[in-house]
Amino acid sequence: SKFDIQQQRSIQMLIDDHKIVNPLFWVYNSDFWELLYEHRRSTIVYHATEDYFSKAFNHGVRGYEISVKLRFVLSLTDLLVSVSDGVENNFQAKGNFSNQSVMVGNGCDYSFWQLTPDELNWVRNKPNTKIALYQGGIGRKLDFELLNHLVRSLDDWLFLFAGTICDCQEEFKTHLD
């Protein structure tokens, strides 16, 4: 959905209705900059899940708008939580963020997914293999019947699942072994 002033008003109404005096804002979206400015005395944590200051994001009008809003939000931010060292470094250097910062990796960057030499050789020896990778929690939210159908229908593909199997280990094994 589009982030707009109406959503910001709805959030403000919830804050007012619950008589929250000093909310903690944990944000990852700079489109709420007006609401954050109104609550600039509250604690604001920016969760940097994407490197919006990288060349991949920083082009065109939309890229410029994002970087301007984000720098403004960062000027209000008390704590930056980044998902990788690269993201943290760019937010500090290109986003001009100088307050407290912490990096809590979640495996979304290259250094986490970089193949070992053996894995790289394995991939190189299979140049025509189509690979589908699912990374995330493996739980009942997944449609195992549909995945099973997909895996069996696309027999020229290699399906890899990376993640913690929670609350459904037997069901996952039954459908996808």
Identity of the residue numbered 159: F
Residue 161 phi/psi, 5-degree rounding, is -120, 120
CA dist 16 to 19, 21, 110, 127, 174, Å? Answer: 5, 8, 42, 58, 50
Q: Which two tokens stand for residue 42?
A: 């509250």
**Residue 56 pLDDT:** 73
- More reliable by pLDDT, 100 or 165: 100
Task: State how far Cα 119 lies from the chain centre.
Answer: 26
If pLDDT is split at 50, 70 and 90, which confidence band does 109 have? low
**Residue 24 pLDDT:** 93
Q: What is the largest CA-CA distance in the chain?
A: 62
- Residues pairing with 25 in the sheet: 44
If pLDDT is split at 50, 70 and 90, which confidence band does 169 have? low
Residue 105 phi/psi, 5-degree rounding, is -65, 140
pTM of the predicted model over 0.85: no
Averaged pLDDT, 58-86? 89
